[in-house]
Amino acid sequence: MKTGIDAIAFDIAKIHLPIKTLANARNIEPEKLEKGLGLIKMTLPDVYQDPVVFGANALTKLIQENEINLSEISRIYVGTESSIDSSKPIASFLLSLMEEKFGADSLSECDAVDFTFACIGGVDALQNCLDFIRLNPEKKAIVVTTDIAKYDLNSTGEYTQGAGALAMLVTSNPRIIAFDNNWATNTKGLFDFFKPYRTISKSEITKNFNNEPWFENMESEIEIHKEQPVFDGQYSNQCYMDRTRNAYFSFKKLKNSEETIYDSWESIIMHLPYSFQGRRMLSEIYTLDAKTKILSGNEDASEYQNKLKEISKSEEYKDFVNQKLLPAELASSLIGNLYTGSIFMGLLSTLADFYDSEKEIAGKNFGFLAYGSGSKSKVFEGEIQSTWKEQISKVKLFETLKESQEIDFQTYEKLHKKEQKIAVRNPKNEWVLDRIEKEIPNLIGSRYYKWID
């Protein structure tokens, strides 16, 4: 019996800032970002959008486009690192909104939970649902990934921002891709990228505070939440390479293969914080698992790195990238980072590109190299099914991305600082954040959403 992704839908922020506009404003040579990192646009949430909105829109599309009977859904599992509540999962918001739109109690027997491990949380949710379907082949599950990648203004991560969600129906005998049961994992507890709780003393805020109640806060310190992470870019890249390399060769052991594993993959789908991240990270695996060994293993650290740089610039490696990685990069260039959704958008981008170019890939294997900071990698593979074209024809990825509305730099900064109060684009046929309760004591902070026709 096969298990995998039967259908897929997405919702991406509908406004964007051209990377060239950002580069000029920050005195960065645009080519360094466009040709060096593969960045063209970065998508941004409007004032009425948050991770629940993106997830709900993607899930609504999935249900409507595939005429899903909600009584058949046993799980809605969400991968995210953009949670809006420390207790109530995004999955519970999605469940209630789907019942509001498609029928009361239609999901009352459905399990719902969030998975958090930086950008790999969605893969964790998928693996869990696949295991569930293998044990219960008559049941169905849905995986949603939803995130807003936001970085501090003028930071080195600013130009990699993005926002959106994907929703995937997981079933037995899937119509898009069926996954092999070999999953390799490599994990370390590190601080390469994280979103810590931060505090500031009341005395620093008021200068004359004596620990009196302050907005109902009795503690001597005020806890601050920031959407923006603490990160070390170079260290995070090294963690990405280390975890992914180790997981890749663990996967090779699971397959009990002496052959070059990546040669068996038609395409390679990787986590892409920016479009060209995968090609930069993969050169070591490409080298170490090559049929003809390029590195002896006796090089010192400096010589090793120099040889990797040479290989990454070689025509052979560039051809490899164009064949195996490029299709997954196309959407990333136009969207930005989706955190947990990045690897699945890479899959959708590849399938949409092959669909548009009328390339037949049924029966071909795709390799997946997932990564989440903190840090963990998982490597697995899946086989494209004979009915993939029919399912992908519904999605219209690149057609939708062309409809994105460009904004100017001033509007971008106002949105980032949350100074913008009026929507840039009027919502239509989508969920919106309607209000956040500020008055009723036992509902303070509760978020309410509504559907706009």
pLDDT band with cut points at 50, 70 and 90 for residue 226 = confident
pLDDT band with cut points at 50, 70 and 90 for residue 304 = confident
Structure confidence at residue 339 (pLDDT)? 98
Residue 145: give the domain boundaries: 3-192+232-282+325-452
Instruction: Classify residue 392: in a domain, yes or no.
Output: yes
Residue 232 above 90 pLDDT? no
Q: Are residues 432 and 445 in the same domain?
A: yes
Instruction: Classify residue 305: in a domain, yes or no.
Output: no
Average pLDDT of the residues of the chain:
94
Structure confidence at residue 395 (pLDDT)? 96
**In 175-282, at which residue ranges do the beta strands (DSSP E only) sit?**
177-179, 184-187, 193-194, 198-201, 221-224, 230-231, 267-270
Residues with Cβ within 8 Å of residue 223, at least 6 apart in sequence: 197, 198, 199
Residue 211 above 70 pLDDT? no
Structure confidence at residue 215 (pLDDT)? 63
Structure confidence at residue 223 (pLDDT)? 72
Distance CA 219, CA 200 (A): 11
Instruction: Classify residue 109: in a domain, yes or no.
Output: yes
pLDDT band with cut points at 50, 70 and 90 for residue 308 = confident
Instruction: Classify residue 289: in a domain, yes or no.
Output: no
Structure confidence at residue 217 (pLDDT)? 64
- Give pLDDT tens digits for 165-179: 999 999 999 999 999
- Give pLDDT tens digits for 269-298: 999 999 999 999 999 999 999 877 677 667
Q: Are residues 34 and 156 in the same domain?
A: yes
Q: Are residues 263 and 392 in the same domain?
A: yes
Structure confidence at residue 274 (pLDDT)? 96
pLDDT band with cut points at 50, 70 and 90 for residue 222 = confident
Structure confidence at residue 219 (pLDDT)? 66
Residue 264 above 90 pLDDT? yes
Q: Are residues 365 and 348 in the same domain?
A: yes
Residues 57/165, Cβ–Cβ less than 8 Å: yes
Q: Are residues 61 and 102 in the same domain?
A: yes
Whether a cis peptide bond, with omega within 30° of 0, leads into 375 is: yes
Q: What is the largest CA-CA distance in the chain?
A: 71
Residues 54/165, Cβ–Cβ less than 8 Å: yes
Q: Are residues 169 and 118 in the same domain?
A: yes
Chosen domain end from 208, 224, 240: 224
- Give pLDDT tens digits for 109-159: 999 999 999 999 999 999 999 999 999 999 999 999 999 999 999 999 999
CB-count exposure of residue 165 (10 Å: 0-12, 13-18, 19+)? buried
Instruction: Classify residue 133: in a domain, yes or no.
Output: yes
Residue 216 above 70 pLDDT? no
Structure confidence at residue 296 (pLDDT)? 63
Q: Are residues 124 and 205 in the same domain?
A: no
How many separate domains does the chain show?
A: 2
Query: pTM here?
Result: 0.95
Instruction: Classify residue 299: in a domain, yes or no.
Output: no
Q: Are residues 214 and 332 in the same domain?
A: no
Residue 50 above 80 pLDDT? yes
Residue 9 above 60 pLDDT? yes
Distance CA 326, CA 332 (A): 10
Instruction: Classify residue 174: in a domain, yes or no.
Output: yes
Instruction: Classify residue 296: in a domain, yes or no.
Output: no
- Give pLDDT tens digits for 361-401: 999 999 999 999 999 999 999 999 999 999 999 999 999 99
Compute the 3-state secondary structure of the chain and give helix, strand, coil in percent, each to the nearest 5: 40, 25, 35
Residue 209 above 70 pLDDT? no
Select the highest-mean-pLDDT range: 187-196, 223-232, 289-298: 187-196
Q: Are residues 91 and 216 in the same domain?
A: no
- Give pLDDT tens digits for 311-356: 888 999 999 999 999 999 999 999 999 999 999 999 999 999 999 9
- In the predicted model, what is the mean pLDDT of residues 209-216? 60
Q: Are residues 103 and 245 in the same domain?
A: yes
- In the predicted model, what is the mean pLDDT of residues 444-452? 97
Residues 9/347, Cβ–Cβ less than 8 Å: no
CATH of the domain at 350: 3.40.47.10
* Alpha helices (H) along 313-408: 315-324, 326-335, 342-356, 388-392, 397-401
pLDDT band with cut points at 50, 70 and 90 for residue 303 = confident
- Give pLDDT tens digits for 236-251: 989 999 999 999 999 9
Chosen domain end from 202, 224, 246: 224
Q: Are residues 106 and 238 in the same domain?
A: yes
Q: Are residues 16 and 50 in the same domain?
A: yes
